[in-house]
Amino acid sequence: MKHARVAYNGQIQDAVEQNGRLKLNDGRIVEENEVVWLPPVEPRTVFTLGLNYADHAKELSFSAPKEPLVFLKGPNTFIGHRAQTYRPRDVIYMHYECELTVVIGKTARNIKKEDAYDYVSGYTIANDYAIRDYLENYYRPNLRVKNRDTCTPIGPWFVDKEDIKDPMNLTLRTYVNGEVTQEGSTADMVFGIPELIEYLSEIMTLSPGDLILTGTPKGSVDTAVGDEVITEIEGLGKLVNTIVDETAFKYA
């Protein structure tokens, strides 16, 4: 089932997809364009993978990492479907990253990869923008690259794991202004979902609501103010986002 969190008539409601419309938890049926979309899950600890697709690593003239390259993201970065992401006016290169996102469903510690899916509740899409101007080293992405406000759209749906038969064989695509600019498959991850859960749960306890953003394939290109960016993952839907100038935000 596809689940969402939305704001409608001043109330935050859980919703499910029903024949191309939304059924709110109070029973009302509304159109998708009548609501404000929120992140479908409320993130707790968020783990993000760097260079987790060999083709992307090669694209950047790096070798694939020998162990997962993980960094953390703050909740300030997350926005919902059809929302706006600001591009700082001083940057030269800001690119999207279409990423399968794993949602942890129950407490996990020292989990073996064979049991990893027992601790997954479902999946969603993240578009984890990176501001490459500020990148010191791909093995050490700093705060200014990956933790800017509004720079991680997520959604539109949270999809139950039972509805995704093989999360390690899903097609990912990104469209900029309707043109396909990125295409790949989760089958090409360097470290798959079971390996990532095993690795992370050996370091720390994973909790319900924790997210793992699993990396992006090759094909990331610069985006400009006014661009509509759609990140799509097979079975999970299409996440729509628009790039705006930072003057659209009160702290500009």
Radius of gyration of the chain from Cα atoms? 17
pLDDT of residue 46: 97
- Is residue 38 within 8 Å of 80, Cβ to Cβ? yes
**Left, alpha or beta for 246 (phi > 0: left; psi -120 to 50: alpha)?**
alpha
Sign of CA dihedral 212, 55, 141, 81: negative
Task: Name the token pair of 158.
Answer: 């949270």
Q: How far apart are CA 5 and CA 39, in angstroms?
A: 6
* Amino acid at residue number 88: P
Helices (H) and strands (E) in the chain, counts: 3, 19
* Amino acid at residue number 186: T
Name which of 235, 244, 8 is nearest 124 in CA terms: 235
DSSP 64: P
Name which of 6, 38, 1 is nearest 19 in CA terms: 1
Name which of 89, 138, 122, 117 is nearest 201 in CA terms: 117
The Cα angle at residue 125 between residues 124 and 130, in degrees rounded to 5: 140
Q: State the DSSP H helix or E strand holding residue 182, giving kind and residue range, or none if neither.
A: strand 179-185
Which residues of the chain are under the pLDDT cut of 70? 57, 59-63, 136-142, 250-252
The Cα angle at residue 154 between residues 153 and 159, in degrees rounded to 5: 165
Burial of 145 (0-12, 13-18, 19+ CB in 10 A): buried
User: Which domains does the chain carry?
Assistant: 1-38 (2.30.30.370), 41-248 (3.90.850.10)
pLDDT of residue 133: 82
- Is residue 238 within 8 Å of 153, Cβ to Cβ? no
160 three-class SS: strand
- Is residue 210 within 8 Å of 46, Cβ to Cβ? yes
Name which of 1, 31, 49, 9 is nearest 211 in CA terms: 49
